[in-house]
Amino acid sequence: MSESELLSAPAPTAMNYEIRPKPAGTSDAEVGGELLEVAMGPHHPSTHGVFRMDVVLDGEQVVKLKPVFGYLHRNHEKIAENTTYLASMPYTDRLDYLCSMTNNWAYALSVERLTGLIPPERAEYIRVITAELTRLVNHTCLIGFLLQDMGALGTPLMYAFRQRELILDLFESLSGSRMMCNYMRFGGCRADLPAGWLEQAAQVVGGYGQFLDEFQALISENEILVARSQGVGVLPAELAINSSITGPMLRASGVNFDLRKADRYGIYDRFPFRVPLGDHGDVYDRYMIRLLEMRESVKILEQALREIPAGPIIDPKAKIRGFRPKAGEAYGRIECPKGELGFYLISDGSPNPYRYRVRPPSLINLTVLEDMCLGQTVADAVIILGSVDIVLGEVDR
């Protein structure tokens, strides 16, 4: 062929496959495919750790999904029952390794319920500040990971991590460690704020609104995000309540329940803040709720950083050596970024807890994973799991 003939020939179509002739008497509707069983995980990158979903697929559609746990199980509870109360404090950092401060607080709160210790004013403020900073860290990371799951590779996650690093610097100067803070103690906190910490924190918090504006302008109305996440993985409110779903996932389904308002633990009754609620309970609402919660956290932080009083940081009655709560039991819970984190402790008067139980929000929020994924495609199952927000250190314990 000459050059001109080549140029004038019609371009080959992209989908020019050879189509196999169908057997006589069949139509497309009658060709039932076989069901395919796929084990997604434990090393699938979208499972955020070692977690497996046994999925049964009809073509691209999920018809059955069973989560499989235990790959990271180390029997945290048994280890804690074999050591003293305080010795488990650093180990709680490893439950949800993104939110060590709130884990510490939940444990300290439960022991305080058990013994009646009351933290001083300044410690309560420090706890609120660190917990809200942790919420910012967690939600920022989650949004980065969720977008990564949707295929926005790299950029949003790096934006999120850049911002997270500023808060981790604060944690490092406060506790000596970026992620494994081990900062709270029964009846207070371990160390006072270093000089200049409050100013540095105010600077980070002051810049957070700008980061959220930028992030929202870049991503929230992005056509692909909207198309991928709206109407996907819908969770009705009644099912959410009956399945003990907590945290942003519950509120995205429109249930107004936030332990900071319901229990008013610590000093949360002093902070006026709103509880954002979703309308549809889909992945987009869960994404949006987190952005809105971060704005409320920024408000709480600004007020707390302004009002924090001087004073002691630990109850002078708190004992470190010979810490033996009298026999009894207590259940304490806080609103950690992923939901309700509770510790149930039974004391028999000895230095070790007789029973130590962690109520893991990540695990219990997965109860409805199958309900949300049925009828959706595999790619949607990935982002539905991403929107639940799990950390395997806490799921498997």
Partner 1 sequence: METLEQIQARLTAEFPAARLERVANESAAGQPSLVVDHAHGQAIARWLRDDPALRLDYCSNVTGVDWLPLETSTKTRVKKVVDGVEKEVEETVKSVRPGYLEAVYHLYSMSLRHGPVILRLRTADRAVGAPVPSLTPVWRGAEFQEREIYDLFGIVFEGHPDLRRLLMWEGYQDHPMRKDYAEPDDYEYEPTPHDEVLEKAGKHAAAEVRP
Of 268, 317, 296, 378, the C-alpha closest to 112 is: 317
Nearer to partner 1, 22 or 73 (CB): 73
Shortest distance (Å) from residue 155 CB to partner 1: 36
Shortest distance (Å) from residue 376 CB to partner 1: 20
Shortest distance (Å) from residue 145 CB to partner 1: 23
Shortest distance (Å) from residue 366 CB to partner 1: 7
Nearer to partner 1, 48 or 333 (CB): 333
Nearer to partner 1, 340 or 380 (CB): 340
Written as six digits, the tokens of 277 are: 């609620």
Nearer to partner 1, 178 or 324 (CB): 324
Classified as helix, coil or strand, 333 is: strand
- Sign of the torsion angle spanned by Cα atoms 161, 288, 125, 103: negative
Written as six digits, the tokens of 306 are: 């302004």
Shortest distance (Å) from residue 186 CB to partner 1: 12
Shortest distance (Å) from residue 53 CB to partner 1: 14
Shortest distance (Å) from residue 120 CB to partner 1: 17
Nearer to partner 1, 209 or 351 (CB): 351
Nearer to partner 1, 49 or 209 (CB): 49
Of 214, 293, 199, the C-alpha closest to 249 is: 293
Distance between terminal CA atoms of the chain? 69
| Interacting residue ranges for partner 1, rule: CB under 8 A | 69-70, 73, 75, 77-78, 113-116, 239, 241-245, 255, 257, 262, 325-333, 340, 342, 344, 346-347, 354-355, 357, 359, 363-364, 366-368, 396-397
Shortest distance (Å) from residue 141 CB to partner 1: 24
Of 301, 64, 76, 335, the C-alpha closest to 204 is: 301
Nearer to partner 1, 72 or 294 (CB): 72
Long-range contacts of 275-278 (CB under 8 A, 24+ apart): 275/251, 276/251, 277/251, 277/252, 278/251, 278/252, 278/253, 278/254
Distance of alpha carbon 331 from alpha carbon 315, whole angstroms: 21
- Interacting residues of 307 by C-beta distance below 8 A, sequence separation 6+: 125, 270
CA of 147: how far to CAs of 215, 226, 261, 371, in Å? 12, 11, 30, 22
Nearer to partner 1, 66 or 162 (CB): 66
**Which phi and psi angles does 106 have, rounded to 5°?**
-60, -40
Q: Tokens 């992030």 belong to which residue?
A: 215
Nearer to partner 1, 220 or 367 (CB): 367
Assess contact for 352 and 83: CB atoms under 8 A: yes
Rounded to 5°, the CA angle 281-286-291 comes to 140
Nearer to partner 1, 201 or 340 (CB): 340
- Interacting residues of 190 by C-beta distance below 8 A, sequence separation 6+: 175, 182, 183, 184
Shortest distance (Å) from residue 40 CB to partner 1: 18
Shortest distance (Å) from residue 115 CB to partner 1: 6
* H-type alpha helices, the chain: 3-8, 76-81, 89-92, 100-115, 121-149, 155-175, 197-215, 223-229, 237-242, 248-252, 259-262, 283-307, 361-365, 369-373, 378-388, 392-396
